[in-house]
């Protein structure tokens, strides 16, 4: 029996909150935003039908505070909660408490979230489904001594990985037994801080892999489809910076195998709603199951652009207990899409996060250009949250056309006030390794000198151009101010 959602609370902030609000509005759903004190002027607060203050900006007191969020949801007669990504999106306790309150959680069922949200349990599911796995520990590794034994058996380098959560948090590469203790303890500490769970496991580190993921949709009636792959290999600190679809690496044969494996894992876990199954592909094109993300992905727009399918609307439909109307044979890919995540980070300083004020913020416009953002000119970038400013997504008829469109879109996108990854993205689009599709997860380390030089040169040119632009604006405004009695100047001033 279907359940109509009429009032939706978005338990998130920034661009993903804006994205969900827009999809919900098109479905005639009333949207309720929540915000911390530093987000009170954010676009998602203004765009929602209603907005309520969570208080202190610290995540534990705001966007991670289950009690506060549920109190607002219950008191405002909310039908459903969409968690977005990050924060509470993969928290089984939140999922459970939402359902206990009689509110629809827009995401997978509790059992599937617990099963696939724990990477160790997810590996067991993949193993039983006969999906290739990266060699590693089957159970959590509790001590440094145990970690050393596992690593000796696997052979260095290895990865120490948090069993809960994702986004590169709680993950450390270990190259030798001498560095195991520090890496192991740091991974556990970071995992606990990020997810409230310090459980970790160890797996063999695959040299120069590709990171490929398959987007799936599943309803509550046993219907499963995939929406092809996304290439996510350009990363820093195990977090993605550039994604594209289709992958320049994947052949039709490999795509079919990955898709079949993703669907098999979803069926084995009785999964419903949107989800992403991630794989590592080595230099010999062997693939291995990595993990499953039980939520909407940051990079979901590239899939939307090549398929024409609104994933947020599909999530809401499935949460309303409606059958998928999409059929696998109706999914046709005739375009290419690329996404650049624009972070307030300094690429020339190891991508360290930055704060400050967006003195100038002017996104590009035009055919095949999409900007998902949660900031506006003049806003401050808070230190408490992820430093992503926006996502620039371009679509072309071919990969070559998409790359060209991305380059020109970046050139039109003006951001001043905080260091950011915009010019880094431009350098990547001009790099022969990216253009040829011959890149892997080590891309940034291997190309850092070349990319840094291009980024620095372009940033210097942009800064000079903007300084000239601001000077001319100041001069022009002064002329207008000194010509108050001039009719033309008054008209021009009003226009400005």
Dist CA 199 CA 113 (whole Å): 17
Longest dimension (CA), the chain: 84
**Could you identify the residue written with the tokens 């160890």?**
202
Give the residue among 98, 133, 119, 213 at the shortest CA–CA distance from 169. Answer: 119
Tokens at 180, concatenated: 């195991």
C-beta of residue 109 within 8 angstroms of C-beta of residue 94: no
Dist CA 269 CA 443 (whole Å): 34
Dist CA 489 CA 481 (whole Å): 8
Q: Which of 295, 341, 370, 399 is catalytic?
A: 295
Distances (CA, A) of 200 to 146, 189, 269, 339, 416: 12, 10, 21, 31, 40
C-beta of residue 163 within 8 angstroms of C-beta of residue 120: yes
Dist CA 190 CA 307 (whole Å): 37
Dist CA 78 CA 64 (whole Å): 18
DSSP per position, 418-464 = S--SHHHHHHHHT-HHHHTT---TTHHHHHHHHHHHHHHHHHHHHHH
Distances (CA, A) of 334 to 63, 77, 251, 303, 307: 39, 43, 15, 12, 8
Dist CA 103 CA 345 (whole Å): 37
Q: How many residues does the chain have?
A: 496
φ, ψ for residue 279 (rounded to 5)? Answer: -135, 155
295 as an active site residue: the answer is: yes
Tokens at 211, concatenated: 């990171």
C-beta of residue 51 within 8 angstroms of C-beta of residue 45: yes
Give the residue among 204, 220, 303 at the shortest CA–CA distance from 259. Answer: 303
Give Cβ neighbours of residue 223 (< 8 Å, ≥ 6 apart): 323, 324
How many other C-beta atoms lie within 10 A of the C-beta of residue 22?
Answer: 15
Distances (CA, A) of 387 to 7, 64, 390, 421, 456: 29, 17, 9, 11, 20
Residue 185 host element (H or E): helix 180-195
Q: Which residues are catalytic?
A: 295
């Amino acid at each position: 029996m279907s359940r109509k959602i009429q009032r939706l609370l978005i338990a998130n902030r920034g661009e993903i909150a804006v994205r969900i609000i827009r999809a919900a509005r098109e479905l005639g759903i009333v949207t309720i935003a929540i915000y911390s004190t530093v987000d009170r002027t954010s676009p998602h607060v203004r765009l929602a039908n209603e907005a309520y203050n969570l208080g202190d900006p610290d995540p534990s007191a705001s966007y991670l505070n289950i009690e506060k969020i549920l109190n607002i949801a219950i008191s405002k007669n909310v039908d459903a909660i969409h968690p977005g990504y990050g924060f509470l999106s993969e928290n089984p306790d939140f999922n459970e408490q939402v359902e206990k309150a009689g509110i629809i959680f827009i995401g997978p069922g509790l059992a599937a979230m617990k099963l696939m949200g724990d990477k160790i349990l997810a590996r067991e599911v993949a193993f039983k489904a006969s999906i290739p796995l990266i060699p590693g520990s089957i159970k959590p590794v509790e001590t440094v001594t145990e970690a050393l034994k596992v690593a000796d058996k696997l052979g260095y380098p290895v990865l120490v990985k948090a069993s809960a959560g994702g986004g590169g948090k709680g993950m450390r590469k270990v190259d030798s037994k001498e560095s195991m203790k520090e890496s192991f303890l740091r991974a556990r500490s970071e995992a606990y801080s990020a997810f409230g769970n310090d459980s970790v496991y160890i797996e063999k580190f695959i040299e120069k892999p590709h990171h490929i993921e398959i987007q799936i949709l599943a309803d509550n009636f046993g219907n499963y489809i995939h929406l092809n792959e996304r290439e996510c290999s350009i990363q820093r600190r195990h977090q993605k910076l550039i994604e594209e679809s289709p992958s320049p690496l994947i052949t039709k044969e490999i795509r079919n195998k990955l898709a079949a494996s993703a669907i098999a894992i979803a069926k084995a876990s009785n999964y419903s709603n949107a989800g992403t199954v991630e794989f590592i592909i080595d230099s010999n094109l062997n693939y291995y199951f990595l993990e499953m993300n039980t939520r909407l992905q940051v990079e979901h727009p590239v899939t939307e652009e090549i398929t024409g399918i609104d994933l947020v609307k599909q999530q809401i439909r499935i949460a309303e207990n409606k059958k998928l109307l999409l059929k696998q044979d109706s999914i046709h890919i005739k375009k290419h899409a690329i996404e650049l995540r624009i972070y307030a980070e300094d690429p020339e300083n190891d991508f360290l996060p930055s704060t400050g004020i967006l003195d100038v913020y002017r996104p590009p416009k035009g055919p095949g250009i999409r900007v998902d953002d949660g900031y506006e000119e003049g806003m401050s970038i808070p230190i408490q949250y992820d430093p992503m400013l926006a996502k620039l997504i371009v679509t072309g008829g071919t990969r070559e056309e998409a790359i060209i469109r991305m380059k020109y879109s970046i050139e039109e996108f003006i951001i001043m006030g905080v260091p950011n990854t915009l010019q880094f993205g431009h350098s990547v689009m001009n790099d022969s390794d990216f253009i040829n599709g011959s890149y892997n997860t080590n891309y940034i380390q291997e190309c850092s000198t070349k990319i840094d030089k291009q980024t620095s040169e372009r940033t210097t040119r942009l800064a000079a151009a903007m300084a000239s632009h601001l000077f001319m604006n100041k001069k022009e405004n002064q002329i207008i101010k000194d010509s108050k009695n001039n009719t033309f100047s008054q008209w021009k001033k009003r226009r400005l």
